[in-house]
Amino acid sequence: MPELPEVETIARGLRPLLVGRTITGVSILGPHLIPKRGKNFEEQMIGKRILDVYRRGKILIVELDNMNRLAFHLRMTGRLGLMPSGEKPGQHVHLLLALDDQTSLFFQDQRKFGTCALFAAGELEAWPFYAGLGPEPLAMDKEEFAARLKGKRGRIKGLLLDQRFIAGIGNIYADESLFRAGIHPALAADRLTPGQIGKLHAAVQDVLTEAIAAGGSSIRDYRTAAGLAGAFQETFQVYGCKSLPCHRCKGIVQTTRVAGRTSSFCPRCQPRP
């Protein structure tokens, strides 16, 4: 599933191409994509001007005039990009938004888990999933991060994956951040020392910043808005490295289950609690 760096990369790629454009046509090729807000969707979209493209957690948001916002959740295989208007859409394209510059914004999703919804003024903030998102990890200082951890008894990997605790982090960047901080994924959050909390805060921000600079991580389907693969996977230290030597200590990377997810770690660099 695309995580914060992938969605941020897509938003940054689309923003200069979409801002200022007007939507001139709508083609819903996959009715499943807009199940609850599909009524009059075409009429509501045509004529809208795009004001901004940005991200919140793992949600990509296209801001329109009159306080309307179009929200995409890419889920497992969702992808957004631009193509010339009139060109035959590729396989698994479920939505086309024709623009006034003879291009079309497309949403492609092979596994059909992605969603799209149009929100009028104030509705996005009232959406329970959106309203429940935790703070952005790149906007949190060390003190706020420590305050949110205070009193938490769950395993630290599970907390990093909890979108209500912190928004945008998934399996890849949780594992890579915990490795850099030298913290085992199963360690209880209330057992973290102030020093470990500081290291983890710095690791999360460093990993996410580096991943954005690298265009995200392409494991299977993810591509940027320009159709390019990300490059951060080339620098993975533990994620996807089971049974390989640790880049730091040459120990063997192992996996365990934490919060229902496979977690990769180095038993030497991240000793078990």
Show which residues are catalytic: 2-3, 58, 261
Distance from C-alpha of 97 to C-alpha of 168, rounded to nearest angstrom? 26
Q: Cα(44)–Cα(97) distance, rounded to whole angstroms?
A: 12
Q: CA nearest 107: which of 148, 132, 77, 128? A: 77
Q: Are the beta carbons of 61 and 71 closer than 8 angstroms? A: yes
